[in-house]
Amino acid sequence: MDEKKLTLDVMDRGAVYCDIRKERWYSTVLNLKDGVPETIIQGEEEGAMTRVLYGNGWGYVGTADMSSLESAMDRAFMMAKNSDPLRKQKTGLAHVDPQHSKVIMPMKEDFRDISPEEKLDFLRDIEGHLKCDFVKSTDIRYRDTLVKKEIITGDGTHVEMEIPRTVTYMIITGKSDTVQMAVHGVGGTGGFEMSRSTYDHVDTVKDMLKNLLKAKSPPSGKLPVVMDPHLTGVFSHEAFGHAAEGDLVASGNSCLKGKIGEKVASDMVTIKDDPTMDGYGTFPFDDEGTKAKNRILVKDGVLNDFILDRENAWKLGMEPNGGARAEDFRVKPLVRMSNTILEPGDMHFEELIEGIDRGIYAKSTSGGQVSPAQGTFQFNAQVAFLIENGEITRPLRNVSFNGFTLETLQKIVGVSKDFETGVGHCGKGQSAPVTDGGANVLISQVTVGGRE
Ligand SMILES: [Zn+2]
């Protein structure tokens, strides 16, 4: 069947827009818990999502039966046509230049050529490196996915892409006065070679646990806080990035609405969301077939751009920038982040802490909450350290801090030149693989509280 003809037929019947997104997934999920393989799943599946915009009404039909694409498209068309008169709000899609290309993102070491048994041996070897006197339990979770996508739109785009991703999470626990846990994930876009670099991060997660086991409760109050690159990344993604998502902005659920061109952070702050850089959230085209583009969200403290799909770009009168991502063929794309980074500055880490009489160096995160609409955040650091008279003195645990995102961004008074990224999965109804990262960042004052 000719998908291009299918889309053109629907356009001829009066649709404003339509597209077909065909996907074929290959994946392996493994879990090794204290030496025992608990999960071994290998799978392949395929399916397609069809979307039609008729007037102001949308219709979406997903199918796992590739021979029924024509009827799926037809049902999407009828749904769109029926919902058009019910929709009170006008909608549309911003123009994008039609794309025609095929991009295969490379794997140096193709994970499909490595058996699950060999992958488990690799996890067992990692486990061997993690084991030591203070590590009482290990849990190693591995996942690889290769997705082959083809997107055909009614306005002339036809792109194909292959995106391989792998990730390994190391979760270790130990016990002193209480049980403590440390977690670290390693991964990216690429083949099994990405997983092999897990070895380089074994000491990171072990150091974290070792410090947690001897850590004490933190002081509380308003204190200077230095965030490490991982926490800076999570702050940039959670507290700022979600508020920069075009759908939240257009629906009035973002503290950044109407603030393009305004100063929203200190001069030292530049935040980008870049699907074209190396990371776990990398892709050549988004799930509407729009070419991926680096979005400079904040430039030298000034709000510069949002993350936009075609519909929300239309609503806001802005340019689409490849912001549409769907978890798989069962669901429609939403506005999502990719690789979110607070760009490095020019200071050494020592310069960040040397002027601090009493403060906190907070590393990585173990959860928290944000409200993009109210612009508030609350994060728990995975581990932290007390800074006294310009020096790091002792480890702390249960460190939590909170505040207003925009007020806190204005209080950034130091940004280091060293820079790291981490991997994660962003949840917004659908899961999306993302990278976040940045520099070590000094915030002059944040409300810090203990959690015990
Ligand atoms: Zn998120």
Return the amino acid letter for 14. Answer: G
CATH number for domain 3-213, candidates 1.10.8.80, 3.30.2290.10, 3.40.50.720, 1.10.275.10: 3.30.2290.10
List the beta bridge partners of residue 227.
362, 441
CA–centroid distance, residue 240 to ligand 1 (Å):
10
Q: How far apart are CA 130 and CA 133, in angstroms?
A: 10
Tokens of 418: 């060293």
pLDDT in tens, 277-318: 999 999 999 999 999 999 999 999 999 999 999 999 999 999
CA 21 to the chain's CA centroid: 22
| Angle at 52 (CA atoms; ends 47, 56), nearest 5 degrees | 150
**Residue 15 near residue 80 (C-beta atoms within 8 A):** yes
Residue 282 has a pLDDT of 98
Looking at residue 449, its pLDDT comes to 85
CA of 363 to the centre of ligand 1 (A): 18
Expressed in angstroms and rounded, the spacing between residue 425 Cα and the centre of ligand 1 is: 7
Structure confidence at residue 452 as a pLDDT band (50, 70, 90): very low
Ligand 1 centre distance from Cα of residue 160 (Å): 27
Q: Decide: 27 and 144 in contact? Cβ < 8 Å.
A: yes
Q: What share of residues in the chain are helix, strand, coil (percent, to 5)?
A: 25, 45, 30
Binned at pLDDT 50, 70 and 90, residue 79 comes out as very high
Can you give the pLDDT at residue 450? 65
Amino acid at 380: N
DSSP state letter for 197: G
Task: State yes or no: pLDDT of 54 exceeds 80.
Answer: yes
Among all chains, which residue has been given the structure tokens 């291009």? 4
Instruction: Tell me, in angstroms, the distance from the centre of ligand 1 to residue 134's CA.
Output: 33
Sequence-ordered alpha helix ranges (H) in 37-132: 69-83, 116-130
pTM: 0.96
* Among 353, 365, 361, 352, CA closest to 436: 365
Residue 1 clears pLDDT 70, i.e. is over it: no
Mean residue pLDDT of the chain comes to 96
- Ligand 1 centroid–CA 241 distance in Å is 8
pLDDT tens digits, one per residue of 155-212: 999 999 999 999 999 999 999 999 999 999 999 999 999 999 999 999 999 999 999 9
How many CB atoms are closer than 10 A to CB 408? 26
Question: Residues 230-246: what's their mean pLDDT?
Answer: 96
Q: How far away, in angstroms, is 171 Cα from ligand 1 center?
A: 21
Confidence band (pLDDT; 50, 70, 90) for 269? very high
What whole-number distance in Å separates Cα of residue 438 and Cα of residue 416? 9
Task: Tell how far the Cα of 370 is from the centroid of ligand 1, in angstroms.
Answer: 10
Domain boundaries, the chain: 3-213, 221-450
Confidence of residue 367 (pLDDT cuts 50, 70, 90): confident
User: How far is ligand 1, taken at its centre, from the CA of residue 430, in Å?
Assistant: 10
pLDDT in tens, 329-349: 999 999 999 999 999 999 999
What whole-number distance in Å separates Cα of residue 214 and Cα of residue 395?
7
Going from the Cα of 82 to the center of ligand 1, the distance in angstroms, rounded, reads 34
Model confidence at 77: pLDDT above 70 = yes
CB atoms within 10 A of CB 393: 12
Residue identified by tokens 């818990």 is 33
229 alpha carbon – ligand 1 mean position (Å): 17
Residue 62, pLDDT score: 95
Give the H or E element holding residue 54: strand 36-54
Give the number of other Cβ atoms within 10 Å of residue 394's Cβ: 12
Query: Looking at residue 451, what is its pLDDT?
Result: 56
- 204 sits in which H/E element: helix 202-213
Report how far ligand 1's centroid is from the alpha carbon of 246 (Å): 14
Instruction: Say if CB 256 and CB 245 are below 8 A apart.
Output: no
- Residue 402: pLDDT over 50: yes
Is residue 65 over pLDDT 90? yes
pLDDT in tens, 110-140: 999 999 999 999 999 999 999 999 999 999 9
Q: What distance in angstroms lies between residue 326's CA and the mean position of ligand 1's atoms?
A: 14
Distance (Å) of CA 347 to CA 188, 231, 353, 441: 28, 18, 11, 10
Task: Tell me, in angstroms, the distance from the centre of ligand 1 to residue 234's CA.
Answer: 9
Distance in Å, CA 427 to ligand 1 centroid: 5
CA 339 to centroid of ligand 1, rounded, Å: 11
pLDDT > 70: what percent of the chain? 99
Separation CA 82–CA 91 (nearest Å): 15
